[in-house]
Amino acid sequence: MVLPRRTLVACLILASLLIAQTDLTGFWVFRVPTGDGNFRDLFFEWKQTGETLTGAALTDSRKLPISRGTVKNGKVHFTIVRVAENRTVTSTYDGTLDGKRVQMTAVRPDETVHGVFERSTPEAAAPPARLPLPPLHDVPDNGLVRTPPLGWNSWNKFAGRVDDKTVREMADAMVASGMKAAGYVYVNIDDTWEGQRDAKGNITTNRKFPDMKALADYVHSKGLKIGIYSSPGPKTCAGYEGSYGHEQQDANTYAAWGFDYLKYDWCSASRIYKDEEMQPVYQKMGDALLKTGRPIVFSLCQYGRNDVWKWGAKVGGNLWRTTGDIGDHWKSMDEIGFRQIAIAPFAKPGHWNDPDMLEVGNGGMTPDEYRTHMSLWALLAAPLLAGNDLRSMSAETRAMLVNAEVIAIDQDRAAQPVQLVSEKGSSEVLMRPLGDHSVAVGLFNRGSSAVEMSVSLNGKTHIRDLWEHRDVPAAGDGLKASVPAHGVVLLRLK
């Protein structure tokens, strides 16, 4: 049917008047389908003045202000700028008014998402009611991971793309690559596996993980162990269902599924509790895991806030993050790794400082930088959790990850702390006493040009280069070595 010209003009005038009269001021929720049956919700507070749009995105810990916001001819546009890992990240939002909703596309550095802005309320954006915290007590030691855990985690490479098939194939690759034989055992699923809760409050999985029990059984059949992820807050970092108010129920579910490891990420708990309340919050899950009767490694992920290394073991923690998220580039790894030396004495068998997962093989650093990464984590007695695609790694990456001589430093049962022996410009010498009375020594060049470095042997006569896999002849009471830019020479002196 063709409308008369006069009617068509009237409709267009009416539509333009409706658009002009639309006021977007108020609370909104940006609902983005995740593709697995869930939605990721991000709340906004908007204020429209004429064609200008201001306001903020309401995150767990702060408000991120809108900039360059406009509403014009039915089109909505704005940007949000935030700082992450010492870099500026800009997200651009472009949408179209669609009745009472706004169809929106958000372009971020690492993804483009499509969703819908719908009217909401301050109450919907508010956190749930605060639950009381238990009195403090020491959670009994679960007796696990007497040496730092070795394994793989899905986040660094796959983030929200992890699924059942990928986890199975990673378990297969861990065996086929020789990583299992080298001591790697944990296959850990990070965020985005979660579904909704059922009528009884039990956590369920989303479409990417159709049968968690069967998946755990498969990983176990390979002689490996399997890990899972949650948060003490109402939502995880990726906006999925957290364990808030369901700690024992979730712990029981993980145990029933057959899980051996839990990473517990602070995230939205910050909307309810203060940093100084972290200890009783984590204690709740530490108690819950112990009560299941299943041996489950407890990994605290709260980014090193509130001096976690002083109380992590008291809540049943086997390892605790000591830093923010690592990035696959030199600056991030360098800054994180060398900051760990001061707190090294807090680590002990069963309770480890965790400077975050390995980036080895993900492509953002040079081979020399990855060897520095692996060497530094080994000297720190840090967990070695690979974060690359084990199915397609190069021979060079595989050789780094399965280097038995480097792994032996990390796994030394004496658990003596690493020490800074000398520092000159960009050159640092680290030393760690080992249980057999030998000494691990790392000559690190944090600078951008190769340097000559030296170390005193202090009576040690046998020198082993752990990356070259060869003995090095001593020359008097010292040793000199050329260390490449951002590189390392890792030695064992006997």
pLDDT at 87: 76
Q: How many CB atoms lie within 10 A of CB 259?
A: 26
Q: Which of 445, 442, 440 is nearest to 430 (CA)?
A: 442
Write out pLDDT tens, residues 66-122. 999 999 999 999 999 988 766 788 999 999 999 999 999 999 888 899 999 999 999
Q: How many CB atoms lie within 10 A of CB 269?
A: 26
Q: How many CB atoms lie within 10 A of CB 207?
A: 13
pLDDT at 31: 95
Burial of 333 (0-12, 13-18, 19+ CB in 10 A): buried
For domain 150-410, give its CATH number from 1.10.10.10, 3.30.70.2190, 3.20.20.70, 3.40.50.720.
3.20.20.70
pLDDT at 488: 98
Domain boundaries, the chain: 22-121, 150-410, 419-493
CA distance 270 to 277: 10
pLDDT at 14: 44
Scanning the structure block, which residue is given the tokens 């956190």?
127
What CATH architecture is 419-493?
Sandwich (2.60)
Backbone angles phi, psi at 293, to 5 degrees: 85, -5
Q: Which helix (H) or strand (E) holds 381?
A: none
Is residue 315 within 8 Å of 282, Cβ to Cβ? yes
Scanning the structure block, which residue is given the tokens 């940006």?
30
pLDDT score of 250 more than 80: yes
Catalytic residue, chosen from 60, 172, 325, 465, is 325
Q: Region 355-359: what's the mean pLDDT?
A: 98
CA distance 341 to 442: 13
Confidence of residue 5 (pLDDT cuts 50, 70, 90): low
Q: Which of 179, 44, 162 is nearest to 102 (CA)?
A: 44
Catalytic residue, chosen from 163, 191, 250, 265, is 265
Counting other chains too, the contacts that 65-73 makes at CB distance below 8 Å and 24 or more residues apart are 71/22, 71/24, 73/19
Write out pLDDT tens, residues 189-217. 999 999 999 999 999 999 999 999 999 99
pLDDT score of 61 more than 90: no
* 265 catalytic per annotation: yes
CA distance 86 to 75: 33
Backbone angles phi, psi at 71, to 5 degrees: -130, 110
Burial of 134 (0-12, 13-18, 19+ CB in 10 A): exposed
Confidence of residue 459 (pLDDT cuts 50, 70, 90): confident
Q: Which of 83, 84, 87, 77 is nearest to 107 (CA)?
A: 77
Backbone angles phi, psi at 288, to 5 degrees: -65, -45
What CATH architecture is 22-121?
Beta Barrel (2.40)
Q: Which of 290, 287, 213, 289 is nearest to 251 (CA)?
A: 289
Beta bridge partners of 351: 348
- Reduce the secondary structure of 226-272 to three states and give it as a string: EEEEECCCCECCCCCECCCCCHHHHHHHHHHHCCCEEEEECHHHHHC
Write out pLDDT tens, residues 155-164. 999 999 999 9
pLDDT score of 4 more than 70: no
pLDDT score of 484 more than 70: yes
Write out pLDDT tens, residues 271-291. 999 999 999 999 999 999 999
Q: Region 171-181: what's the mean pLDDT?
A: 98
Q: How many CB atoms lie within 10 A of CB 184?
A: 24
pLDDT at 308: 98
Q: How many CB atoms lie within 10 A of CB 358?
A: 26
Write out pLDDT tens, residues 10-44. 444 444 444 445 799 999 999 999 999 999 899 99
CA distance 300 to 303: 9
Q: Which of 463, 426, 462 is nearest to 444 (CA)?
A: 426
DSSP 3-state assignment of 145? coil
* 325 catalytic per annotation: yes
Confidence of residue 7 (pLDDT cuts 50, 70, 90): low
pLDDT score of 387 more than 90: yes
pLDDT score of 171 more than 50: yes
* Mean of per-residue pLDDT scores for the chain: 94
Q: Which helix (H) or strand (E) holds 42?
A: strand 39-49
CA distance 278 to 273: 7
pLDDT at 391: 98
